[in-house]
A and B are shown apart, each in its own frame.
Chain A
Amino acid sequence: MRVGVFICHCGNNIAGTVDVAKVAEETRKLPGVVYATTYMYTCSEPGQEEIKKAIKNENLDRVVVSACSPRMHELTFRRTVEKAGLNRYFFEMANIREHVSWIGENKELNTNKAIEAVRMAVEKVKQNKPLYSSSFKINKRVLVIGGGVAGMQAALDCADGGLEVLLVEKSPSVGGMMARLDKTFPTIDCSICILGPKMVDVAQHDKIKLYAYSEIDEIKGYVGNYQIKIRKKATYVDWTKCTGCGTCMEKCPSKNSYDHFNFGVAPTRAINIPFPQAIPKKAKIDPDYCRQFVKGKCGVCAKVCPTKAIDYEMQDEVITEEVGAIIVSTGYSLIDIERLPEYGGGRYPDVITGIQYERILNASGPTSGHIVRPSDHVEPKTVVFVACAGSRDKSIGIPYCSNFCCMYIAKQAILTKDHVPDSQSYVFYMDIRSPGKGYDEFTRRAQEEYGVKYIRGRVSRIYPKGNKMIVKGADTLLGTQVEVEADLVVLGTAVISNSDAGHMAEKLHISYDTFGFYVESHPKLRPVETNTSGVFLAGACQGPKDIPASVCQGSAAASKVQALFSKDMLESDPAVAKVNINACVGCLKCVKTCPFQAIKEKELRDGRVVADVIETVCAGCGVCTSTCPCGAIQLQHFTDNQLLAEVNAICLT
């Protein structure tokens, strides 16, 4: 056995706090090691050439690179050794950067730890066996979860590339948050005018199958071969018959239903089409408010419907679909105003949220675009905007910036002046965050051309006085307290993840952070990938994001899917569980514990029952190996013997 070890300086990242020359020297003493050297940047092209040369000249049959995390460069080096003619599994990585040099300052201790890490890797690589991938066919259909602007962009890009797309949207219409906006910054172009055509494209594209008012029940399978259960929620209206004429909505006697689309700015009917441009433009009954459901009698909509589309007995329908990749674009939610008691916590009707104001500004909104305040429907002359309402506030567990509030507040202040020329707007802010293209000019315009008064400071309290709302806060530039008598207060409420984001992540086997936002594979270099291959991210489900960024991610995720689907076959990872049928006693405990349903029972020719791993489904988690009472099921590349060799290397020497 001829092991070669390459110890990387990583510039000063490793060599700064680890004596790499000493590590190499000590490594040379290890049995089986015939070659050990250091290199400035092993991952660079000349660095990789060094490895190839050494394999040839020194006749190496095993390679260890002692550098950064295998998550960073394991694949890089596996390819390198493969090019030099070795099996890619005759390679190990010792992480002496994240595990050693970055976390300790004592050079001597670091060096000792690095030597131990290398020793472990050497002992492991000596136990390694050649493994070979098998290839499997992939299903070139893609599932997009969430039909906001990011999801629609992803769906359209995939479909235009010739892929079949399933777009599943939770609410009755696609469009997401963007469909609710009035104008968009920094160009003040009408939101639905630019989004509407995209929505129509989604509906009309022959490669896109739209499941509106549907949710994902279950996801099974693996990259290239997913089985999805989609729940089409009961709308109580047969959408194959509904023409979207709106007669039912006009005649519905239940006039106080909560309007989810308008964020409760005004009530809607129990049977409704959310907005005029809705795609699909179909009616849906809200059973929480419908008299037929609440009181058991009414039936007005069934009587007036010209196509007899109403069906009070409708049940949810579960449909199974198969896809090869998934794009998650489930979007975001906004913090409940009740969590902001200092701003009234929802007690004052004239303290509203930014998205509610957006609906008031919108020509197709409940006030037909006339700015009036909710309490008395009078046009406000003084409007106060409170930025960071909940954002950057550790005390309520939201330490992060919500990304786009500064910009939409500037936009809403400009629009307020446009709608009500004799009005005056105030903005309480912490910092103005406007780093996008044309963004800073835009916030300056709000101040300089539209006379919006920006006050740097936090608002401590909002309370009513007569028919005014008093906004009390600090002006930290003047170092004084200020009170503004407002007719209307708009809170730039914090962006939060959807309440069911965690559940969705668990269905997808992807990770999410403390705040419920999905975690990308690498914050800079793999921004739309997840650590689960075949699952990609787009839009604000990954973190607060404005429209341009969401669209970018939608397109990026689509291009990743296209790249994945450019091959007809995918290679499976051979580091999966394998059953030694001679040792297996057929207890089938592994079948029960496998979280991926990757193990099934198999009857041998002699009638004996043993466990059998479905290679393509196995994710290589190793739960089965620790469950097996007789060590019959082993995770390839992480077998008991390989791990024990590592443990012995650190404990017995």
Chain B
Amino acid sequence: MIEREYAYYSGCSLEGTASEYDASMRAVLKELDVNFREPDDWSCCGSTPAHTVNHVFAAALAARNLALVEKIGLNTIITPCPSCMMAFKKAQHGMTKSESFKNEVNELLDEPYECGVESKSALQVMYEDIGLDAVSQRVTHALPGLKVAPYYGCILNRPPEVAKFDDPENPISMDKILLSAGVEVSDFAFKLECCGAAFGVVKREMVNQLTYKVLSMALDSGANCIAVACPLCQQNLDLRQGQVNSTTGSSFNIPILYFTQIIGLTYGLSPKALGMDKLIVSAEQIIRSRVTVEEMKKRTESEAQVKAKKPEKKTVIEEAKPEENE
């Protein structure tokens, strides 16, 4: 891999509710030999509230951080949280497109931002810069029986003219990254469906309905786990899963993992280092099912032998099940 240095902006969520995203992200990037530096004295990205009030102000909040990155001499920033990323990308888009907008924004800043920083999600960095080959090379462990529904959320690659990454209607980057780590993914139709976002606070019932749909579609697709790349999606699906169960009478028990946590597991990293203990819906079963790649090979070989001995299909399936659950 080509040595690259990135800036890293964790943002507020990754310091709090999504600390496991931060921990697993740093651990995985380290495994992939990615160097990154954090700008000093970073501040709020502006997120949703800022741009609902004033676009110039919102861009200024974002641009202040980007200017800090410029100051430490870097031109690409890894932004794990899609909300932060979109705030940065929007500021970048608006300021490069219009000189007058750029001037208005820079007027609010102590040090002007010269539009020299591209912000990328961790997915984009892994998919475009690091590459799938490098992602798969580091894999040491397999997760047998795990089938993941990749859930991208609404803003990771939309609007397309700002995000400039992956397909806005049917994204595939997370699918490909998980597949290259040897993880099975399901054909999940609700990759982009709304999770309810911040309405979890003001309209809990509505959000419960929306999350219910996402969770049941994941089950319908044959998945037993959902991979996410957004702290808010994770919160709505994981933290509120109990609420969903009580409001809709369902009994979901689907672990909601950050995709970096899943990659970390396949890299043989310790569950503690990946913050697995922070999850509300326990991922214990996934952790316990983890085996080394060599062990997995042996297993599939012996399964193949069993199959060869017993040609009747039905019995093979029954035999295979208890093995998966051990």
Which A residues fall within an 8 A CB radius of B? Answer: 341-342, 345, 347, 461, 463-466
Q: Which residue in A341, A465, A466 is a CB contact (below 8 Å) of B170?
A: A341
Q: Which of A341, A464, A465 contacts B169 (CB 8 A)?
A: A341
Contact A463 B169 (CB under 8 A): no
Q: Would you call B220 and A466 a contact (CB within 8 A)?
A: yes
Is A465 touching B167 in the complex (CB atoms < 8 A)?
A: no
Count of chain A to chain B residue pairs whose CB atoms are closer than 8 Å in the complex? 19
List of A residues within 8 angstroms of B169 by Cβ: 341-342, 345
Q: Looking at the assembled complex, report how far the CB atom of A34 sits from the nearest CB atom of chain B, in whole angstroms.
A: 56
Checking A341, A461, A463, A466 against B167 with a beta-carbon cut-off of 8 angstroms, the contacting residue is A341
**Assembly CA distance A464 to B169 (angstroms):** 15
If over half of A's interface residues share one DSSP class (helix, strand or loop), that class is named, otherwise mixed; here it is mixed
User: What residues of A have a CB within 8 angstroms of the CB of B189 in the complex?
Assistant: 461, 463-465
B8, CB-defined interface residue at 8 Å: no
Specify which chain B residues have a CB less than 8 angstroms from the CB of A342 in the assembled complex. Answer: 169-170
Chain B residues whose C-beta falls within 8 Å of the C-beta of A466 in the assembled complex: 220
Q: Given A341-B167, A466-B220, 5 other A-B contacts at CB below 8 A?
A: A341-B168, A341-B170, A345-B170, A463-B190, A463-B217
List 17 A–B pairs whose Cβ atoms lie within 8 Å, in order of A's numbering. Answer: A341-B167, A341-B168, A341-B169, A341-B170, A342-B169, A342-B170, A345-B169, A347-B170, A461-B189, A463-B189, A463-B190, A463-B217, A464-B189, A465-B189, A465-B217, A465-B220, A466-B220
Contacting A at CB under 8 A, from B148-190, are 167-170, 187, 189-190
Q: What is the minimal beta-carbon distance from B183 to any residue of chain A, in angstroms? A: 21
CB distance from B290 to the nearest CB of A (A): 31
A-B pairs, top 9 by smallest CB distance, nearest first, are: A463-B189, A341-B169, A341-B170, A342-B169, A341-B167, A345-B170, A465-B220, A464-B189, A463-B190
Q: Which A residues are CB-close (under 8 A) to B190?
A: 463
Which of A342, A345, A463, A465 has the most B CB atoms < 10 Å from its CB? Answer: A463
B residues with a Cβ closer than 8 A to A are 167-170, 187, 189-190, 217, 220
What's the dominant secondary structure at chain B's contact region?
loop
A341 to B158, CA, bound (A): 14
A341 to B170, CA, bound (A): 6
Q: Which chain B residues border A465 with CB–CB below 8 Å?
A: 189, 217, 220
Q: Complex: how many Å from CA A347 to CA B169? A: 13
A4 smallest CB distance to B (angstroms): 53
Q: A494: shortest Cβ distance to chain B, in Å?
A: 16
B149 to chain A, nearest CB (A): 13
Q: Which residues of B contact A345 (CB under 8 A)?
A: 169-170
> Looking across the interface, which residue of chain B has its beta carbon closest to that of A342?
B169
Of all chain A residues, the one with the shortest Cβ separation from B170 is A341
- Report the separation of the CA atoms of residues A372 and B217 in the bound assembly, to the nearest whole angstrom: 26
Distance of B8 from chain A, by nearest CB (Å): 31
Chain A residues, CB < 8 A from B168: 341
A11: min CB distance to chain B, Å: 42
Chain A: minimal CB distance from B120 (Å): 22
CB distance from B172 to the nearest CB of A (A): 10
Contacts of B220 in A (CB 8 A): 465-466
Q: Which residues of A contact B187 (CB under 8 A)?
A: 347
| Closest chain A residue, CB of each to CB of B189 | A463
- Please report the C-alpha to C-alpha distance between residue A463 and residue B169 in the assembled complex, in whole angstroms: 12
Q: Which residues of the other chain, A, contact B170 by a CB distance below 8 angstroms?
A: 341-342, 345, 347
Residue of B nearest to A465 (CB): B220
Measured in the bound complex, the distance between the Cα atoms of B193 and A461 in whole Å is: 10
Residues of chain B contacted by A341 (CB below 8 angstroms): 167-170
